[in-house]
Amino acid sequence: MRALVAALVLCLAVFGGAAMAETLQEMIDAAPDGAEIDISGQVFAGPIVIRRPVVLDGKGTGVIDGHGEGTIVTIESNGVTLKDLTIRNSGRLHNKVDAGLRIKSSYNVIRDVRIENSLFGIDLTQANNNVLRRNYISSKDMPLELRGDSVRIWYSNDNIFEHNHIEHSRDFVIWYSGGNHIRNNRIQHGRYGIHFMYAHENFVEENEISDCVVGVFLMYANDIKVRGNQILRAWGASGMGVGFKETSGAVVEDNLILGNAVGIYLDPSPWDPDKTNEFHRNQIAYNGIGMEFHTDWVGNNISNNNFLSNFTQVSVRGRGTALREGWHGNYWDDAAGFDRDADGINDAPYEIYNYADRLWMDLPPASFFRGGLALSALDFVERLAPFTEPRLLVREEAPFAHPVDHAAARLETAEQGAKPKSALELLTQ
């Protein structure tokens, strides 16, 4: 009898252990609403789909591995929390948008999650009121144009994306979405740092966007607020810090726009004649071109900015001028004149004329000689004895005599108590 009981106990132990060896998908499906599932210290295979409001906690050591197939984690339920875990190794198919994490629901929290070696990082599709905080995202080790987007927001509103670190992905792109707050993130080594398409009333605040092809691009996207960002070193043939394409009602203020091929680029913007674009209190420094207009336009108000050490302060393509734009109270470090009455206003207006050194604006191939001895010598002779009538590009009646003292000018770092970095330190870091 005792032998029979011992045999039954052994069988229960064996089959019970087998029953406990569940997949992560089975654990999620079996959990009650609100349950916390601890996956610490374990590596589970994806893909998984979460269809109930649970908490998935990796406690810093849990891993979900897609083994190179498809999207790894999909959230279809509202109220899910993912925290302190790693998601890695998605598939490689762009037509299927293979991603580390896909969110198709609302009111979810994704925090302290590492998404590694995933074609697309996070894909939000008709997903609202989600919080994504302190996550790390990188794509696959492939040429830039073949990587997926770090974050793809599609028809998704009122999400918060903050304190995340993104690097070596393609774009952070927002399509047809509004009310999203993108703040305090670090975005590096991508194509578009942040790219809006037909996406209105979003917020970009206090981010550091560096070493991308384009920092922030607003395309057919109205009423965007771009405030307090550091946009650094967008270089190359297409490099620009902040770009506009037929965009209206934007506010760009208190930003440090430093070391880019073009600091701010405007291609017919604003497009809506009843809206203006506002550029205030920005530090626009060490760029190839401080501000470039695609054509002669109107509707941009540019005030209280510092234009410092840009190779060319303002450029206008197509033989146009920027005389119809609103230039008020800016500081130009190449301005001529004095402040004899010490009122802080330069006694002479600031003017930019189109001499020979700006020949490249009308003939782009001539830009090869920009800064060279031949074009500089020709420009020197023309300024002494003009043989053509120089064209006035910019005129500001009352420019500031001294740099504007504001947040962007002080170059403060985000860390409490940290020593502020100089412009050259930020340019070369």
pLDDT digits (tens, 9 = 90+) for 381-404: 555 656 567 778 999 999 999 998
Answer whether residue 9 is part of any domain: no
Does residue 326 share a domain with residue 249? Answer: yes
Report the pLDDT averaged over residues 246-251: 97
416 pLDDT higher than 50: no
DSSP sequence for 284-335: EES-SEEEEESSS---EEEES-EEES-SEEEEESTT---TTSEEES-EETT-
Task: Read off the pLDDT of residues 154-181 as tens digits, 9 standing for 90 and up.
Answer: 999 999 999 999 999 999 999 999 999 9
Both structure tokens of 90: 């998605």
CATH of the domain at 79: 2.160.20.10
In this structure, is residue 203 part of a structural domain?
no
Q: 404 and 428 in one domain?
A: yes
- 377: confidence class by pLDDT, cuts 50, 70, 90: low
Q: What is the pLDDT of residues 260-314, one digit of tens each?
A: 999 999 999 999 999 999 999 999 999 999 999 999 999 999 999 999 999 999 9
Which of the pair, 427 or 36, is modelled with greater confidence? Answer: 36
- pLDDT at residue 1, rounded to an integer: 44
The reply to whether 92 and 130 lie within a common domain is yes
> How would you classify the pairing of strands 350-354 and 391-396?
antiparallel
The reply to whether 310 and 361 lie within a common domain is no
Choose between 408 and 273: higher pLDDT.
Answer: 273
This prediction's pTM: 0.85
Domain that holds residue 272: 214-345+394-429
Does 228 lie in the same domain as 103? no
pLDDT at 102: 98
**Which segment, 188-202, 306-320, 340-354, 413-427, is predicted with the most confidence on average?**
188-202
Average pLDDT over the chain, rounded to whole? 87
Domain membership flag for residue 158: yes
Terminal Cα distance for the chain, rounded: 78
| Tens-digit pLDDT profile for residues 135-147 | 999 999 999 989 9
Regarding whether 228 and 280 lie in a shared domain, the answer is yes
Q: How confident is the model at residue 407 (pLDDT cuts 50, 70, 90)?
A: confident
Residue 8, pLDDT above cutoff 60: no
On whether both 308 and 423 belong to a single domain, the answer is: yes
Whether residue 61 sits in one domain with residue 167: yes
**pLDDT at residue 11 is higher than 50:** no
In-domain check, residue 11: no
Tens-digit pLDDT profile for residues 91-104: 999 999 999 999 99
Give the domain-ending residue among 175, 190, 205.
190
**112 pLDDT above the threshold of 70:** yes
Pair 426, 365 in one domain: no
Residue 417 lies in a domain: yes
* 195 part of a folded domain: no
The confidence score (pLDDT) of residue 388 equals 63
For residue 129, tell me if it sits in a domain: yes
Do residues 333 and 288 share a domain? yes
Number of independent structural domains in the chain = 3
Is residue 7's pLDDT more than 60?
Answer: no
Rounded-to-integer distance, Cα 179 and Cα 49, Å: 27
Residues 248 and 162 reside in one and the same domain: no
Place of tokens 């998935």: 56
Query: What's the rounded mean pLDDT across residues 245-269?
Result: 96
From residue 188, how far is each of 63, 207, 259, 284, 373 by CA, in Å? 25, 11, 15, 20, 36
Quote the pLDDT of residue 237: 82
Residue 58 lies in a domain: yes
Look at the alpha carbons of 58, 59, 62, 68 in this order and tell me if their dihedral is positive or negative: positive
Q: Do both 250 and 384 map to the same domain?
A: no
Return the SS3 of 356: helix
Nearest to 168 by CA among 197, 195, 147: 147
- Among residues 190, 205, 229, the one where a domain terminates is 190
Question: Would you state the structure tokens that stand for residue 341, as one six-digit string?
Answer: 């009455």
